[in-house]
Structure 1
Amino acid sequence: MELQETSSDTLNESMWPDHLPSPSYQQLSPPVQQSGRNVITTQQISVSYHTPDGSILWNEKRESPQSSPDTNEPLLHSDEIRENSPTNEQASASGYHQFMSNRKRRCELNQIGDLDRKYIRRDVLNYNTAVGQLLISSRFLNSRPAHVKGSKRGTGGNAISLQANFFKILSAPDWGLRQYRVDFAPEEDRTIVRKGLLRLHKKALGTYMFDGSVMYTCNRYSGVSKTEAMELFSERQSDNAKIKVSIRLVGELVKGDPHYPQFFNIIARKGLEHLHLQLVGRNYFDARAKVEIPEYRFELWPGYQTSIRQHERDVLMGVEITHKVMRQENLLDILGRVRSNARGGDIQGACKAEVIGVTVLTGYNNNTYRIEDIDFTKNPKSSFKLGKEETSTTYIDYYRNKYGLTINNLSQPLLVTRLPLRDRRAGKDELLYLIPELCRATGLTDEMRTDYKLMAKLATFTRLNPDRRIDRLLHFNKRLQDELTVVEEFQQWNLKLDNKLVEIPARVIPPENIIFGNTKQSASTSADWTRHFRGARLIISTKLTDWVLIVPERAKRDAQPFIENLIKVGNGMSFAINKPQVREIMNDSAQSYAEELERIMSRNVPQLICCISVRSRADVYSAIKKKCCLDRPIPSQVILSKNLASKGAMSIATKIAIQINCKIGGAPWSLDFGIAGLMVVGFDVCHDPNQRGTDFGAMVASLDRGMTRYFSAVSAHKSNEELTNEFSINMVKALRKYAELNGDKLPSRIVVYRDGVGDGQIPYVLEHEVDHLREALSKLYGNAELVKLAFIIVTKRINTRLFYNRRENPPPGTIVDDVITNPWRYDFFIVSQCVRQGSVSPTAYNVIYDNVGLDVSCIQRLTFQLTHMYFNWSGTVRVPAPCQYAHKLAFLIAQSIHRPPSSHLESLLYFL
């Protein structure tokens, strides 16, 4: 277990936000000394949770351990850090806050359960009071800035009411909960078997809930502590093996402890099991409702993703409808098909190309794995070391003895996958070998994704409009309510699920005005201004006087009409485009393009090089971009020849003209942001598939008030520390460029939109990236007060769905900042796009640092405005444009170039 200590910051007076219930304590009985290994004093206390107006929300009675009367030292636990715990006198109402303001904060990275496999931060606050000892542990970082203690709701816009894909947990439990860790020896990795082995002792254990690793119960077991385990013995049915089951106390959970939602999630998942859903990976799917698509040899399984957690005022269950593509072939079938088609070529290379990256399901343990490689030197007859005793066994014997499976093909190579970090930390080998015939392929192949008919057919089942999605959600809820075993399970814990979706107050801010070179037009309620380009001029127009068009011989016929269309639409937008120098190549190989580019740029450096490609080939695109971003830095444009002869040739020419104008320094439109001295920064990270462990972080920063000019920088990194350092270095470069273009004035406000951050990474970002950035700004400005900063986490991949009028998607500009938000965060959701097919998913924003001096409404409107500024699309996008630019740049470098680009391009949007 790894421990980190943060700086000595002053803690909030309470772990609860102001509008949440906070606890108070009353002694009900005098301390009673109990005998045992340790001298422990216990007493009965009453814990009450109050609403802001002072009324009691709920009340519970429990026994609380106190410090030893002999030593006045708190009762310590092996997995907790308690430092400078106050005495009873210090912990008086006034003394406690004084004490807490001086204590150091400790952070614990802790891996918990099967439900949350990420490493998470847990702030642990401990203090002794005259009426007992309280442990408050926060599973989620309290990232809500100190000045947002009250309401975080914005104002302005039209008020509307929405529904979301959440159900309220109606009844709060009135019991105390204990958490136990359960271990098995010999090890058993199948969750379903682990549950069965423990179930044999249900009579002795009483009512409990078990997720495969952690057991929750109201019961206290005699002799069981954090150091002393209860040992039980079970017999595994598959092989009659005797299994030792060890149960050890982890801790007791008080009301409000964020581990409670984890427990609720276990109950919910058990309810899904009672609905006879099948666990595939970490989600449950309804195999009985599968849709077979025989012409493509796969099935579509509908399923559910559920999550229960504390939201703004209530504990809510979020439910998302999901689907799993299950192919009707195993990996051995796929390898056999590849061998048949290879026809004497590089068979091993062809096999690897087909299966590396594929996610497979192993039915014997319902786990999913991503294939990393194929080992042709191993087969099922190969031996390996098993368990701590390192007993040698073959894969044939292992699967027969443990799972009762017979492997038929004894010469098949083995698939290689990489174990999750949690298993590697537990001492297991990094690599795991799988048997192809026991692995069922899941997901779509690249060939399937490019099949329009297939994808259209899939969309009829997976793309659910709001009315269909609501019906499916309510049907799921009804199944839970009607299933007797689910109802009984919930009743055992005094829980009840509401039968209707939650209602949410929301606001719709007015459409923005799009500023062109000669006019101003409303983006309208559809947030699309494509039609306004007719007769509109670009707000910043350049001249394309010197450019080269490279075209393969077979596509030359389509080149001339394209040139004419491009010049025509350019003139209509006041973008003057001269005729290019056309260079013809004999074929469309990557080498042909690279050689022609070298010939051109060795003699002259044009403003832009445009390449027409006959086919969509990654090697060709990569060769062109490497040459134009590294060797000979110059803006470039790659176009597929099939688009030049399509019916929408004029529309395509318009979009290409706008792209080219941006790549050489122009801009098509702007908005009135109304905030002087503002720089907006987008940052995203993309993994390089060709260099294991290497990521590229891209930063894009605005350079003018209209957000039309940008500075960009990319850095490779192999660790979070490198990313943090490079981000600050690139920020300083951007600020110096800003000053260069703005009369030596630095921006007075900086707003950073950071994408690519999971919940478990937020503490690191806040405590390292933000602090490092603030330090760099302080050095550059000379005085930290001269610049104000806001740092906002952007999350696109969320399961939240919003519904308007029960059957529609909310309009663009919809803001949600209540009910389904997180009480420990300064967060909000924005719907920025008009979605006519399927159900809209908002984008989540979490402001983790803010002294920028803009109120909630201003931050929300700025965020929505920035979704209008992505110049590749004449409409809004899901995230602020600097964030989208950063993503596109990071993706280009990681996927095609694999090295940071030349700094000569840093002031151009060359990556559009």
Structure 2
Amino acid sequence: MPPRGAPGRGRGAPVSFMPRGGAAARGGGPPSLVGRGNGAGASPGLPARDSHITTVGVRRSAFGTAGRVIDITTNHFLVKIPDAIIHHYDVVIRPDEKTLPARLNMEIIDRLQKVIAPQVFTPRAVYDGRKNLFAARELPFGETRSQEFDVMLEDPATSTSARGPKVYKVKLTHVAEINPEVLARFLKGQQSHDNTVLTAITALNVVIRMEPSLKYPFNVRSFFTNRETKDIGGGIVLWRGYFQSVRPAIGKMLINVDISTGTMYKEGPLFNLCLEFFGTRDPSFLTPRRLTERERLRLQRFISGVRVTTVTPGQPPSNRSPRVLRKLSAQGASSLSFTNREGKAVTVAQYFRQTYNFQLKYPDVVCAEVGNGALIPLEMLHVPPGQIMKKPVPPEKTKDVLEFATKKPQDRLQSIANGLGVLQYGQSEYVRQFGLDVDPNAKPMRLQARVLNPPTLKYGPGSKQPTIVPRDGAWNMVERKFWQPCTITQWILVVFERRNRFDENIVQDVARNFVAACKNVGITIQNEQPIYEWANPQSSVHAQLARIGGLCGAKYKTMPNLVVCVLPEGATDVYTAIKHFGDIQTGCATQCLKADKCKRAKEQYFANVCLKVNVKLGGINTIPEPRSVAALTDPHNPTIVMGADVIHPAPGAEGRPSFTALVANVDSDTAKYVADCRVQTSRQELIEDLGPMSQRMLWSYMDYRKNKEGKANPAPTRIIFYRDGVSEGQFKHVLEQELPLIKKACANLNIKPKITMIVVGKRHHVRFFPQGQGGDRSGNCPAGTVVDREVTHPLELDWYLQSHAGLLGTSRPAHYSVLHDENNFTPDSLQALSFALCHVYARSTRSVSIPAPVYYADIVCSRAKNHYNPEESMHLEESSGLQQDKATAIANLSKFKSNFKPLHSTIAKTMYFS
């Protein structure tokens, strides 16, 4: 049976191989331009093709062959799988009134094996921290194959609690025997990816993670050491870590090893941590007089859940287990009172003076409430080391995290190779006892990749060279005009920066540079002298924009169709208000510029701004040359390409909704896109409104082709649907629930296009490193590097494509998995069209890491906050840091749904999201 309590899903969920036992494998059709071939033997190296083998996604029947071959290294190591039976046990730990942290569960099972019943657990079993325990031999539990143990983490003789140490009841029940032979058969293509295979892979992952999980701080698949750290301020310290995952591949089992980054709470006095969070050393900042309610809740969200120990000056160190911090009091210790055991009201400060003869140094500072309800002054609490911060990194710290996490390819590869010495598979008693074998001198795998040819891109009339072939994933627009330039009828320039920092001369320079850039790319500006004014970012943004727009209307008898705004650094709230004004309220295109960038900007800066402005006003920047992307631009097979994504609220943000987005092209050249965005149930991965969203996209496509392009056959015959943001465990659900919604939308419009559904994965740890001189200037593999052998799925059609040129650090390829294909595309066709779609991203003159419609869907989701009026105080990222009851969470979610405003009808037909 499958492992219990398997890891989470959705955005941010780890990539894992989950059940794949649904759809029967489909045979190939007759060879054709896009046909996939006719089954076994289509390419050397494919697993044997057995008719009884089932898959969720499309069965691989061939490999790609296009492109030039290069030699690369990948961060995978060969592992020999065991041949002995593995015994699977279900774990129940009580008291179970709440889910215990994985760290605590690991401590309980470790103590059970080493102290409470070592004779039972010889050799020791491995545990995943939740519901699954695996043993290399059957545990001696008798006929029932089940046993319950009492586990105490403290010895009764040394316990400081009046009630004695807490007792955890651990019940283990035998649920299955795992024969690793099923894995060997699966790798050879002789076994479906069913629950037995899933459980076997899970068991091997638990085996390799057991040792480091007991030694180091860990999350699901990574553990972190303090060998390499960086204090980035704000109470956060970064630790270098290692990711490891056992993964099946064609004919072999591999361990994927990578470096990772952990954000940790800074160890030391909690008092200091709180001051660092606010970037101050002034203790009075933590008193109710200085600490506003909003700031207190912000700090509470940051530190809630952290484990703390009590330190009383003059008292011996407590050996009690750390307690979890729940919330902060609104009052200081000298004002906060409670009733003591004698029934008298005393303040917290009085209690510690009377009980411990300890005078608080900062009696006016707020207190912390810990798990048992006790109120303790901040100055008496200590934060133990190695605590992972499971909260979003503050935006101002993102740059520091990226700098720490970024390593050049060869440096990263060396760190990964060194990781085997840290992981020490050969020295782990768990790895040895289960019969896993990783050569201690193993080298990262070497394999062959292919580099695809980029598509040819077309620019508009008046260009010195109308076509260009990207080189190294980039191209420039020098002396080129947009394929379809827009017209700016009237525009206004609104400056939200202080006048003494952004004076009239600078404003006029910005206006001149913007006009010149527009002319260079073919954009028509009917009035080169905009109305410009300075605005107050503290006042109503909506009112000010409406007033200045009204001045334009009064002077020129026409309202502006573009509002250009100059913003100071960090003006996120102003940006959101501007986008709401344009996208939701008025339907007027808006373009924001950063003050520091545009006042000293070079020509290239305004050229990049024009890339965005043109598509926002209905233009098209460039299109792929039809002959170079035949699969996308076949006139006999009109093709609509869709990109879909879901984004979930931050951890701990209860009662906040998830947002969904669907983006699709409306033109025949797959360059002009429209979008739809909806709000749905919190943390729900599947898109509940995909039916009406798809119907709107299809209608828009047919309307544009008929009325704008004058096509006689406006309906699409093919849909290529790229789905972002789902883990492999969700593939079957996407097929069973989302695919029918797309088909229903087609039926409602009386069209019957053939559908190809592809999942694009970004959240994985597979990396590729060029050998010799095969890399680009950044040391990464060249743009267009594709790998569909050696490290891919044993049965199903998938590949890795690194479609972008490297800039900083090590590039991450996108992982493509084909779930459904009625169009019978060849692997070469699918890889080529996916690569081509990475070149039509309107914001840049570089190929991007994922197909443009998927990238756009991701942006549309992240802009969902713009659909709320910022003046109505809908705080999407904020919550108190406390668990909400179900009724409150539902009520909050309902409020977010009812206040979500649709796009303005004018803006909905444009690429407003660029």
TM-score interval for Structure 1 and Structure 2 normalised by the shorter chain: 0.7 to 0.9
1:630 paired residue among 584, 592, 601: 584
2:85 paired residue among 168, 176, 180: 176
1:301 maps to what in 2? Answer: 239
Residues 434 and 882 of structure 1: CA distance in aligned 2, closer, same or farther (over 3 Å): farther
2:643 paired residue among 679, 682, 685: 682
Question: Which deviations, in whole Å up to 9, do the C-alpha atoms of 1:205-238 show, x marking residues without a partner?
Answer: 432422144322243356656x662244555444
1:543 maps to what in 2? Answer: 487
SS of the residue 1:629 aligns to: helix
2:207 maps to what in 1? Answer: 267
Question: Which deviations, in whole Å up to 9, do the C-alpha atoms of 1:723-768 show, x marking residues without a partner?
Answer: 6442211211121122122236211111111112223333322210
SS of the residue 1:693 aligns to: coil
Displacement after TM superposition at 1:685 (Å): 2.1
CA distance, structure 1, for counterparts of residue 809 and residue 780 of structure 2? 9
Q: Given that residues 687 and 894 in structure 1 are in contact (C-alpha distance below 8 angstroms), is that contact kept between their aligned partners in structure 2?
A: no
Q: Given that residues 739 and 745 in structure 1 are in contact (C-alpha distance below 8 angstroms), is that contact kept between their aligned partners in structure 2?
A: yes
CA distance, structure 1, for counterparts of residue 816 and residue 70 of structure 2? 20
Residues 691 and 268 of structure 1: CA distance in aligned 2, closer, same or farther (over 3 Å): closer
The reply to whether residue 617 of structure 1 matches residue 547 of structure 2 is: no
Q: Given that residues 161 and 504 in structure 1 are in contact (C-alpha distance below 8 angstroms), is that contact kept between their aligned partners in structure 2?
A: yes
Question: Which deviations, in whole Å up to 9, do the C-alpha atoms of 1:365-385 show, x marking residues without a partner?
Answer: 9999999975648999989xx
The reply to whether residue 220 of structure 1 matches residue 138 of structure 2 is: yes
State, as a whole percentage, how many aligned pairs show the same letter: 20
Question: Which deviations, in whole Å up to 9, do the C-alpha atoms of 1:167-205 show, x marking residues without a partner?
Answer: 1113x3221121112444556744123212223323234
Residues 350 and 857 of structure 1: CA distance in aligned 2, closer, same or farther (over 3 Å): same
Q: Residue type of the partner of 1:634? A: C
Please list, as runs of the form range in 1=range in 2, the aligned pairs for 1:334-349 lying within 5 A after superposition. 334-336=273-275, 338=278, 340-341=284-285, 344-345=289-290, 347-349=292-294
Q: Given that residues 666 and 701 in structure 2 are in contact (C-alpha distance below 8 angstroms), is that contact kept between their aligned partners in structure 1?
A: yes
Q: Given that residues 590 and 623 in structure 1 are in contact (C-alpha distance below 8 angstroms), is that contact kept between their aligned partners in structure 2?
A: no
Unpaired stretches in structure 2, ≥5 consecutive residues:
23-52, 158-164, 183-196, 310-318, 340-347, 350-359, 707-712, 869-899
1:485 paired residue among 405, 427, 440: 427
Q: Given that residues 230 and 246 in structure 1 are in contact (C-alpha distance below 8 angstroms), is that contact kept between their aligned partners in structure 2?
A: yes
Displacement after TM superposition at 1:165 (Å): 0.9
Residues 590 and 439 of structure 1: CA distance in aligned 2, closer, same or farther (over 3 Å): farther
Residues 725 and 859 of structure 1: CA distance in aligned 2, closer, same or farther (over 3 Å): same
Q: Given that residues 797 and 817 in structure 2 are in contact (C-alpha distance below 8 angstroms), is that contact kept between their aligned partners in structure 1?
A: yes
Please list, as runs of the form range in 1=range in 2, the aligned pairs for 1:786-805 lying within 5 A after superposition. 786-805=752-771
Residues 202 and 749 of structure 1: CA distance in aligned 2, closer, same or farther (over 3 Å): same
Q: Given that residues 562 and 590 in structure 2 are in contact (C-alpha distance below 8 angstroms), is that contact kept between their aligned partners in structure 1?
A: yes
2:457 maps to what in 1? Answer: 514
Q: Given that residues 541 and 578 in structure 2 are in contact (C-alpha distance below 8 angstroms), is that contact kept between their aligned partners in structure 1?
A: no
Question: Which deviations, in whole Å up to 9, do the C-alpha atoms of 1:605-658 show, x marking residues without a partner?
Answer: 322111222343122112212221222111111112222222x33211111122
SS of the residue 1:791 aligns to: strand
1:817 paired residue among 769, 788, 791: 788
Displacement after TM superposition at 1:900 (Å): 2.9
Displacement after TM superposition at 1:717 (Å): 1.5
SS of the residue 1:901 aligns to: coil
CA distance, structure 2, for counterparts of residue 220 and residue 479 of structure 1? 30
Please list, as runs of the form range in 1=range in 2, the aligned pairs for 1:22-61 lying within 5 A after superposition. none
1:160 maps to what in 2? Answer: 70
Please list, as runs of the form range in 1=range in 2, the aligned pairs for 1:394-793 lying within 5 A after superposition. 412-414=366-368, 437=381, 439=383, 450=396, 455=400, 461-480=404-423, 485-486=427-428, 488-498=429-439, 499-517=442-460, 518=463, 519-530=465-476, 533-552=477-496, 553-554=499-500, 555=502, 556-577=504-525, 578-592=527-541, 594-598=543-547, 600=549, 604-646=558-600, 648-672=601-625, 673-674=629-630, 675-676=633-634, 677-687=638-648, 692-718=655-681, 724-743=687-706, 745-781=714-750, 786-793=752-759
CA distance, structure 2, for counterparts of residue 586 and residue 355 of structure 1? 34
SS of the residue 1:835 aligns to: coil
Q: Residue type of the partner of 1:157? A: G
Residues 493 and 328 of structure 1: CA distance in aligned 2, closer, same or farther (over 3 Å): closer
SS of the residue 1:250 aligns to: strand
CA distance, structure 1, for counterparts of residue 294 and residue 906 of structure 2? 39
1:883 maps to what in 2? Answer: 854
Displacement after TM superposition at 1:351 (Å): 2.2
CA distance, structure 2, for counterparts of residue 826 and residue 370 of structure 1? 46
Unpaired stretches in structure 1, ≥5 consecutive residues:
1-79, 81-107, 126-139, 384-394, 397-406, 418-428
Displacement after TM superposition at 1:359 (Å): 8.1
Displacement after TM superposition at 1:711 (Å): 2.1
1:143 paired residue among 56, 60, 69: 56
Q: Residue type of the partner of 1:230? A: Q
CA distance, structure 1, for counterparts of residue 684 and residue 394 of structure 2? 39
Q: Residue type of the partner of 1:614? A: P
1:320 paired residue among 248, 254, 258: 258
Displacement after TM superposition at 1:835 (Å): 0.9
Displacement after TM superposition at 1:476 (Å): 2.0
The reply to whether residue 872 of structure 1 matches residue 850 of structure 2 is: no
Please list, as runs of the form range in 1=range in 2, the aligned pairs for 1:188-337 lying within 5 A after superposition. 189-200=104-115, 201-211=117-127, 212=129, 213-221=131-139, 224=142, 229-233=146-150, 236-239=153-156, 241=165, 244-255=169-180, 256=182, 257-272=197-212, 276-279=215-218, 283-287=222-226, 289-291=227-229, 293=231, 299-326=237-264, 327-328=266-267, 331-336=270-275
SS of the residue 1:903 aligns to: coil
Residues 746 and 438 of structure 1: CA distance in aligned 2, closer, same or farther (over 3 Å): farther
SS of the residue 2:174 aligns to: strand
Q: Residue type of the partner of 2:86? A: L
Residues 828 and 754 of structure 1: CA distance in aligned 2, closer, same or farther (over 3 Å): same
Q: Residue type of the partner of 2:176? A: G
2:353 maps to what in 1? Answer: none
1:68 maps to what in 2? Answer: none
Q: Given that residues 664 and 908 in structure 1 are in contact (C-alpha distance below 8 angstroms), is that contact kept between their aligned partners in structure 2?
A: yes
Displacement after TM superposition at 1:873 (Å): 1.1
1:846 maps to what in 2? Answer: 817
Q: Given that residues 74 and 445 in structure 2 are in contact (C-alpha distance below 8 angstroms), is that contact kept between their aligned partners in structure 1?
A: yes
Q: Residue type of the partner of 2:746? A: L
SS of the residue 1:761 aligns to: helix
Question: Which deviations, in whole Å up to 9, do the C-alpha atoms of 1:442-496 show, x marking residues without a partner?
Answer: 66999986479x83xx666532222212222222224555x8632x543322221
Q: Residue type of the partner of 1:150? A: S
Q: Given that residues 165 and 501 in structure 1 are in contact (C-alpha distance below 8 angstroms), is that contact kept between their aligned partners in structure 2?
A: yes
Please list, as runs of the form range in 1=range in 2, the aligned pairs for 1:347-426 lying within 5 A after superposition. 347-356=292-301, 361-362=306-307, 374=328, 376=330, 412-414=366-368
Question: Which deviations, in whole Å up to 9, do the C-alpha atoms of 1:417-453 show, x marking residues without a partner?
Answer: 9xxxxxxxxxxx9x9999974557766999986479x
Q: Given that residues 359 and 442 in structure 1 are in contact (C-alpha distance below 8 angstroms), is that contact kept between their aligned partners in structure 2?
A: no
CA distance, structure 1, for counterparts of residue 904 and residue 240 of structure 2? 47
1:104 maps to what in 2? Answer: none
The structure with higher relative contact order (CA 8 Å, sep 6+) is 2
In terms of mean alpha carbon deviation, does 257-266 or 229-238 score higher?
Answer: 229-238
Q: Residue type of the partner of 1:528? A: A
Q: Given that residues 231 and 245 in structure 1 are in contact (C-alpha distance below 8 angstroms), is that contact kept between their aligned partners in structure 2?
A: yes
CA distance, structure 2, for counterparts of residue 342 and residue 412 of structure 1? 6
SS of the residue 1:869 aligns to: coil
Q: Given that residues 280 and 368 in structure 1 are in contact (C-alpha distance below 8 angstroms), is that contact kept between their aligned partners in structure 2?
A: no
In terms of mean alpha carbon deviation, does 635-644 or 869-878 score higher?
Answer: 635-644
Give the TM-score taking structure 1 as reference length: 0.73
SS of the residue 2:689 aligns to: helix
Give the TM-score taking structure 2 as reference length: 0.73
CA distance, structure 1, for counterparts of residue 320 and residue 837 of structure 2? 43
Structure with the largest fraction of strand:
1
Q: Given that residues 217 and 223 in structure 2 are in contact (C-alpha distance below 8 angstroms), is that contact kept between their aligned partners in structure 1?
A: yes
Displacement after TM superposition at 1:859 (Å): 0.8
In terms of mean alpha carbon deviation, does 563-572 or 276-285 score higher?
Answer: 276-285
CA distance, structure 1, for counterparts of residue 866 and residue 323 of structure 2? 23
